[in-house]
Structure 1
Amino acid sequence: MSRSRILVVGAGFAGVECVRRLERRLSPAEAEVSLVTPFSYQLYLPLLPQVAAGVLTPQSVAVSLRRSHKHRTRIIPGGAVGVDPKARVCVIRKITGEVVDEPYDVLVLAPGSITRTFDIPGLVTHARGMKTLAEAAYLRDHVIAQLDLADASQDEEERASRLRFVVVGGGYAGTETAACLQRLTRNAASRYPRLDPRQIKWHLVDLAPKLMPELGDALGRAALGILRRRGIEVSLGVSVAEVSAEKVTLTDGRVLPSRTLIWTAGVAASPLVGTLGTETLAGRLVVRPDMTVPGADGVFALGDSAAVPDLAKGDGAICPPTAQHAMRQGRAVADNVIATLRGGPTRPYVHKDLGLVVDLGGTDAVSKPLGIELRGLPAQAVARGYHWSALRTNVAKTRVLTNWLLNAVAGDDFVRTGFQAQQPATLRDFEYTDAYLTPEQVRAHTAALRARE
């Protein structure tokens, strides 16, 4: 009997957990497991703000797949750009640009998400994201460069625009990004003899009426208080109307001279989901409770790109795109894939959210583990303890712990590397949103493949 071909797309929390479980529970004789990812690491996304702030090095949050997986899994260096469920073929663009076709018996789609944008003039051209390792590294360089240029400038208007930073998005990512980078610029200001720390302005903007509503009113207000005490201006019920190279116009009419707009206003499912031609909900693939895709035999979908029913909440709710759900969905899908191969029944995914942790840098944090509200050092201990324990390899844990200790003792040198100084660094450049095929292109591609055979 031939081995089943299992193809997993995406090396985020969902995909990695799925592959790890498949490796442990399937024998080599039962299946061949392949993983499609452009990078040979799992990005620990919740710690990206600390990379941008220089607390952690980029390598610390890039967890090696070759350390965390057995040698059985074949890693295909590229990105999936289309799926033909009828032909059971996944179209992959390798990192060389070569397009190849990968047949499968079982396909697990965990391609994750991209930064969600809106039709705001200048947004895609001038905004910077915080979704990839390259974006975090670029953003650190960019912020320090603004301090360097402002310190050297003789023009007060230029100096004001370079020292004003705007973060859009009052959720987990935006709040941590604003808090960590504001702390970076505050600490760096003492190294610049011509800069007054009071000239450095940080703004956090969100259309929602509350900051981080998922934390609850009390902790949300606590986080808001921490940011405002640090001097971060928080504007709620407001969004961006227009962006240019040197200013940000808000929907309440304010015009902020600024050369830095960091956009963290939510995520959208990977464009890959649109290539299947199956039903979507708010841009995410509609799946059954066992995470199979209706109308696509042998296909499972999970994580940020799938509208997985949240049976713990009920009332038609779908699971939020969090690492916590993605990890548990990865394990659940692996069990269902194994059950399918062995002729057993699949099981629905059920998980109750265990809470959130928010690290605001230094000793500032708010956390809500298991419904218990924490602030300050206890919250910080829980937040960092959770992140540290979630890292998959001992090497990654050692690097992160060492970086935390070194930063706490020695601080930062505020060095910009300049590696990406000549890159446009727009959202489209870093997240490759133009790389995907349309369903018609996928079908034409696989039809041509069959014709050649």
Structure 2
Amino acid sequence: MARPKILVVGAGFAGVGCVRRLERRLGAGEADIALVTPFSYQLYLPLLPQVASGILTPQSIAVSLRRSKKYRTRIVPGGAIGVDTKAKVCVVRNLAGEIVDEPYDYLVLAPGSVTRTFDIPGLADNARGMKTLAEAAFVRDHVISQLDLADASHDAAERTARLQFVVVGGGYAGTETAACLQRLTSNAATRYPRLDPRQIKWHLIDIAPKLMPELGEKLGLSAQKILRDRGIDISLGVSIAKAGPEEVTFTDGRVLPCRTLIWTAGVVASPLIKTLDAETVRGRLAVTAQMSVPGRSGVFALGDAAAVPDLTKDDEAAVCPPTAQHAMRQGRKVADNVIASLRGRPLQPYMHKDLGLVVDLGGRDAVSKPVGIELRGLPAQAVARGYHWSALRTNVAKTRVLTNWLLNAVAGDDFVRTGFLARTPAALRDFEYTDAYLTPEQVREHTEAAHLQQK
């Protein structure tokens, strides 16, 4: 008999955690494992702001899936664009643009999330995100290019506009992005003698009334004070009404001449989830505490794309937040449940009490709340970087990151542009391919046509 096929979609914390657990705990002849991913690396997302600011190199947080020879998972290079759970087929668009079918017996959906956007005029064309490695590299090039162009300009209005930077989103990604990039431009100002450092202005805005409310009142206010002391303008209860190529209009009526808009206002589940035509909870796929999808045989979902019940809370409607610490642990638990299904054993529920939060604001600045203990300054920085360093999956990645941190601490910042997409307009959809997915009807039509061809 043919071995069962386990197909994992997504190479983030959840997907890779699941695959590595399956490889360790399944016998060589028990099942075939395949991983669908457009990139053959696991990206350590929490450190993207440090790539954008040049503290870390892109390669240091892209952990290769092909380094070890002992792994037996087959990598399917492409993006999953649809799932037909009746036919038990995942539709994949490979790197050459061809559409191929990947059949499965067990499917683990860990496609992650994409940047959440709204129907704001000009946003899709003029904003940049902070969700992929390419976006972080692009943002770094773009920010440094604004300093270069402002320094070379003889037009005072143009110079002012190029030195205004707007970050939307007061969560971890937005706060850390604004903090790290502000530090980069502040340090760079000394290398541009024609620029007045006081003209470089960063704006952090969020529609919420508080910055990073998950940190609690005291730490949230501490983070605000650190950023404001650096000169970052923080506007709460405010969002974007219109985004143009040369100006941004705020919902409070302000119009800011600006060439840089970075959008980090939350995430939503991958569009792949909609192709299942299954029940969702606030956009995330509804799953049981065992992370199985009700009514879909052999299908599991986890991570940012799934509304996994949080059994540590008294609220029955509570779901686990889309964080790395949950995704990693959910990946291992799903692997155990897939193996249990294979062997005819009962599935176990997922339960994990949140260990706390860390926010690295660059330099010696940080706020952290490990296991409920509030920390600031160097102790918080040590906890934040220690947590990230220990969470990196390989010793090679840990060595690269630690070396980068030490080199940056000793030698300071570099202000080098790589020329990445320098002459190509790059919008959110160009990096996250949100327009590549099929509808549920298109998925069914495709699988039915493929089935007829096989006959």
Q: Which residue is 2:74 aligned to?
A: 74
Q: Which residue of 2 aligns with 1:130?
A: 130
Tell me, in whole angstroms, the C-alpha distance in 2 between the residues paired with 1:183 and 1:314: 41
Cα distance in 2 for partners of 1:313, 1:373 equals 21
Identity %: 79
Please state whether the residue corresponding to 1:8 is helix, strand or coil: strand
Secondary structure of residue in 1 paired with 2:165: strand
| Counterpart amino acid of residue 215 in structure 2 | L
Counterpart Cα distance in 2 of 1:96 and 1:283: 30
> What is the distance in 2 between the residues matched to 1:49 and 1:178?
8
**Aligned: 1:381 with 2:382:** yes
Please list the CA deviations of residues 282-335 of structure 1 after superposition, one character each: whole Å capped at 9, or x if unmatched.
Answer: 111111111101121110000000011111113111111111110111011001
Q: Distance in 2 between matches of 1:286 and 1:71?
A: 31
One-letter amino acid of the structure 2 residue matched with residue 195 of structure 1: L
Residue 8 (structure 1) aligns with: 8
In 2, Cα distance between equivalents of 1:398 and 1:289: 37
Structure 1 runs (4+) deviating above 4 angstroms are none
Helix, strand or coil at the partner of 2:138: helix
Listed one character per residue, the Cα deviations across residues 5-49 of structure 1 (whole Å, up to 9, x for unaligned) are: 000000000000000100000011101000000001000000000
Residues 64-84 of structure 1: CA deviation (Å, up to 9, x unaligned): 112368331000100100000
- Which digits, 9 at most, give the CA deviation of each residue in 1:339-371, with x for residues without a partner? 000000001111111101100000000000000
User: What pairs up with 1:163-202 in 2 under 5 angstroms?
Assistant: 163-202=163-202
**Aligned residue type for 2:313:** K
- Tell me if the contact between 1:11 and 1:35 (Cα under 8 Å) persists in the aligned partners: yes
Which residues in structure 2 correspond to 1:358-369 (within 5 Å)?
358-369=359-370
1:330 and 1:256 map into 2 onto residues whose CA distance is: 44
Give the 3-state SS of the residue equivalent to 2:419 in structure 1: coil
Residue 23 of structure 2 contacts residue 71 of structure 2 at CA under 8 Å; is this kept in 1? no
Query: What is the count of residue pairs matched by the alignment?
Result: 453
Q: How do 1:208-227 and structure 2 match up within 5 A? A: 208-227=208-227
Q: Is the CA contact (8 Å cut-off) linking 1:166 and 1:204 kept in structure 2?
A: yes
1:356 corresponds in structure 2 to 357
CA–CA separation in structure 1 for the residues paired with 2:257 and 2:69: 48
CA distance in 2, matches of 1:69, 1:162: 48
Find the counterpart in structure 2 of residue 321 from structure 1.
Answer: 322
What is the TM-score with the length of structure 1 in the denominator? 0.99
AA paired with 1:59?
Answer: Q
Aligned ranges 1:39-188 → 2 under 5 Å:
39-67=39-67, 70-188=70-188
- Unpaired segments ≥5 residues, structure 1: none
Q: TM-score, normalised by structure 2?
A: 0.99
Q: Which residue of 2 aligns with 1:448?
A: 449
Q: Which residue of 2 aligns with 1:338?
A: 339
CA distance in 2, matches of 1:389, 1:195: 40
From the superposition, tell whether residues 118 and 274 of structure 1 become closer, same or farther in structure 2 (CA, over 3 Å): same
Verify the 8 A CA contact 1:241 1:250 in the aligned structure 2. yes
Give the Cα–Cα distance (whole angstroms) in 1 for the partners of residues 404 and 361 of structure 2: 16
Q: d(CA) in 2 for partners of 1:359 and 1:162?
A: 26
Conserved 8 A contact 1:68-1:392: no
* Counterpart code for 1:359: D
List gaps (5 residues or longer) in structure 2: none
Offset at residue 135 of structure 1 (A): 0.1
For 1:238-257, list aligned pairs within 5 A: 238-257=238-257
3-state SS of paired residue (1:252):
coil
The AA in structure 2 aligned to 1:197 is: P
Tell me if the contact between 2:168 and 2:265 (Cα under 8 Å) persists in the aligned partners.
Answer: yes
CA contact (8 A) 1:109 1:301 kept: yes
Letter in 1 for 2:319: I
- Counterpart in the other structure of 1:409: 410
Report the alpha carbon displacement of residue 412 of structure 1 after superposing the two structures with TM: 1.9
| Aligned pairs for 1:406-445 within 5 A | 406-445=407-446
- 1:235 shift after superposition: 0.3
Is contact 1:23-1:70 (8 Å) kept? no
Q: What is the identity, as a one-letter code, of the residue corresponding to 1:361? A: G
Matched residue, 1:30: 30
Distance 2:70 2:233 in 1: 48
Correspondence for 2:268: 268
The whole-number CA distance in structure 1 between the counterparts of 2:353 and 2:409 is: 35
Using the TM superposition, give the Cα deviation of residue 2 of structure 1 relative to its aligned residue in structure 2, in angstroms.
Answer: 2.8
Residue of structure 1 equivalent to 2:303: 303
- Deviation readout 1:215-253 (Å, 9 max, x if unpaired): 011100000000000000000011111110111111111
Report the secondary structure of 2:67's partner residue: helix
Question: Aligned-residue CA RMSD in angstroms?
Answer: 0.8
Shift of 1:444: 0.5
* CA displacement, residues 101-147 of structure 1 (integer Å, 9 cap, x when unaligned): 01000000000000000010110010000000000000000000000
Deviations 1:258-290 (A, max 9, x none): 110000000010000000111111111111111
Distance apart, 1:422 and its partner CA:
2.3
Q: Does 1:347 align with 2:348?
A: yes
Name the structure 2 match of 1:395: 396
Q: State the distance in 2 between where 1:323 and 1:43 align.
A: 11
Q: Is 2:137–2:420's contact at 8 Å kept on the other side of the alignment? A: no
1:228 counterpart residue number: 228
Alignment partner of 1:386: what SS? helix
Task: Give the residue type in structure 2 aligned to 1:360.
Answer: L
Task: State the AA in 2 paired with 1:283.
Answer: G
The secondary structure found in structure 2 opposite 1:20 is helix
Give CA deviations for 1:177-197 in whole Å, capped at 9, x if unaligned: 000000000000000010011
In 2, the alpha carbon distance for the partners of 1:68 and 1:388 equals 20
Amino acid at match of 2:414: D
Quote the Cα distance in structure 2 between the aligned partners of 1:211 and 1:81: 35
SS of the equivalent of 2:66 reads: helix
Look up the equivalent residue of 2:450 and give its one-letter code: L
- In the superposition, relative to structure 1, how do residues 251 and 111 fare at CA in structure 2: closer, same or farther (>3 Å)? same
Q: What is the CA–CA distance in structure 1 between the aligned matches of 2:445 and 2:69, rounded to whole Å?
A: 35
